[in-house]
Structure 1
Amino acid sequence: MSDEKKQNEAEKENLSRRRFLRNSGIAVGGLAVGGVLGSVIPWNTETAENNQQQTEEVKNYNHALMYFNQAEFRAIEAATERIFPQDDNGPGARELGVAYYIDHQLAGSYGFNARDYMQPPFFHGEKEQGYQGRLNRREIYRIGIREMQNYSHQTFEKGFTELSEEEQDQVLTDFAEEKVNVTTISPGNFFQLLRSMTLEGVYSDPLYGGNKDMDGWKMRDYPGNQMNYTEIIEGDFKEIPPNSLRDHM
């Protein structure tokens, strides 16, 4: 076959291939279209971006357990809600994500008492002297939750999360007033630690897991983490929308 004939055959083959691709809708301009592949491509880019943005707004990757198991988390979530319940002023601890704040704190150095002196000898000091013992906060919480469940079963024959609000209040009150017979930890110290961390979770920066949507700050008209107040430092009082540490990243 002559070179000219070979060239003509090659051109016919290329034309036939391009015609097939165009007519079958498999590729146009280097993009896969038509058939199964074409049906999954979001040609409406604006709609796809909006859907992605809405999905990202719904997800909160900061609300993930790092220390508690599911049962422990639900018990702490219920207990914190009784300490800081929802009312006409705003959301309670559950909606604010306080239990996640506590979980994250216990998973880090605070839970290990990394900055506290934890060496013996240990003595029973005055309440003003604070906690003195060999158990770190992680261990105190784990024991406290277990004893809270045990006391709920002994008193009401149900787990803490299954109790009514009034019954949950009674369990927490008995812990606070040292009416629960626990040998491994002080029930009163456990309640005080739980109460303190509940309030921290309500009013801390949302970056740490609690104070969801800065609603804890909004209830008190607290401006959060502002870069400065130079533009409003003089004159009448002004309300400022709160800022999180994440707003300055």
Structure 2
Amino acid sequence: MHDTHDLSRRTFLRYTGMLTGAAAALGLAGSSMAESKAGRGDSADSHADHTGARNKPLSRGWMFCSNELEFATLSAAAERIFPGDETGPGAVELAVPYFMDNQLAGAYGYNAREYTAGPHHFPGAPTQGYQTALLRRDLFKEGLLALNSAAREHFQKDFPQLDGTEQDRILSDCEAGKLPVRGFTSDYFFSLLRDLVLAGAYADPLYNGNNNMDGWRMKKYPGAQMAYSYLMASDKFETLEPVSLSSMQ
């Protein structure tokens, strides 16, 4: 015979989770109190501080692109791959070009901590990884140059000066492997370009992309929440404002 006060599975898990969390908290009481005295506050205050905080102003600038045409080409290509519409901002408004530029100037662009010695067998099998002798930064330099060369050949303009339909034609040719490049194929460049655009749209704003966390807002992603324990007793669907690592510095 079942008890009329039998707990549901959901309620049982919720409250046992709270008890487990409380036990763990007791073991850390000393360090937590010290942190509180240092100005961190309790978990509720900390959560309020972080969710209420916007990104700290970031210093954005070119580190990879060497001239305005390169950066404008990177920006135009990114915007065509991730355009703004009624669902949210596009790549340029999300500051994705700055993210891409900064990544190409750093470890990603220099293939840091990757085996890059030969033999190289491009394109190689999918399981063989990066197979060109070029660093990613050099591959992108060549790829951006190819976009502008194709734009001048077909439309007598640089890529950023083309309208959206014309830019899409050049990018489609690039994706199809039709643009002449050295040391790789244009479809490989396009795959890296697209991946880097998406990374910039959804990265933590600490890395100079996903401006104002709007990429996360489109996905309803909560970001770097410090804890969810304060929600465990709630039976309601909770919508959280995203939190960036930059707000915790």
- Give me the TM-score of the superposition, normalised by structure 1: 0.73
How far off is 1:190 after superposition? 0.6
Corresponding residue number in structure 2 for 1:147: 146
Q: Does residue 172 of structure 1 match 2:171? A: yes
How far off is 1:179 after superposition? 1.6
Corresponding residue number in structure 2 for 1:42: none
Identify which of structures 1 and 2 has the higher relative contact order when contacts are C-alpha pairs closer than 8 Å and 6+ apart: 2
Q: 1:75 pairs with 64, 73, 76, which one?
A: 73
How far off is 1:65 after superposition? 1.1
Q: State whether residues 98 and 209 of structure 2, in contact with CA within 8 Å, keep that contact through their aligned partners in structure 1.
A: yes
Corresponding residue number in structure 2 for 1:63: 60
How far off is 1:129 after superposition? 3.6
Q: State whether residues 143 and 181 of structure 2, in contact with CA within 8 Å, keep that contact through their aligned partners in structure 1.
A: no
How far off is 1:184 after superposition? 3.0
Corresponding residue number in structure 1 for 2:103: 105
AA aligned to 2:96 is V
RMSD across aligned positions (CA): 1.7
Corresponding residue number in structure 2 for 1:33: none
Corresponding residue number in structure 1 for 2:133: 134
How far off is 1:248 after superposition? 1.6
5+ residue gaps, structure 2, are 1-53
Q: State whether residues 80 and 98 of structure 1, in contact with CA within 8 Å, keep that contact through their aligned partners in structure 2.
A: yes
5+ residue gaps, structure 1, are 1-56
Q: State whether residues 143 and 185 of structure 1, in contact with CA within 8 Å, keep that contact through their aligned partners in structure 2.
A: no
Moved more, 183-192 or 210-219: 183-192
Q: State whether residues 205 and 211 of structure 2, in contact with CA within 8 Å, keep that contact through their aligned partners in structure 1.
A: yes
1:191-202 → structure 2 map (5 Å cutoff): 191-202=190-201
Deviations 1:4-48 (A, max 9, x none): xxxxxxxxxxxxxxxxxxxxxxxxxxxxxxxxxxxxxxxxxxxxx
Deviations 1:129-175 (A, max 9, x none): 43202111110111111111101111111110011101101111111
- Give me the TM-score of the superposition, normalised by structure 2: 0.73
Corresponding residue number in structure 2 for 1:224: 223
Deviating above 4 A after TM superposition, structure 1's stretches of 4 or more consecutive aligned residues are: none
AA aligned to 2:106 is G
Distance 1:233 1:189 in 2: 46
Distance 2:154 2:126 in 1: 28
Cα pair distance change 1:87/1:128, threshold 3 Å: farther
SS at match of 1:93: coil
Q: State whether residues 134 and 183 of structure 2, in contact with CA within 8 Å, keep that contact through their aligned partners in structure 1.
A: no
Q: State whether residues 144 and 185 of structure 1, in contact with CA within 8 Å, keep that contact through their aligned partners in structure 2.
A: no
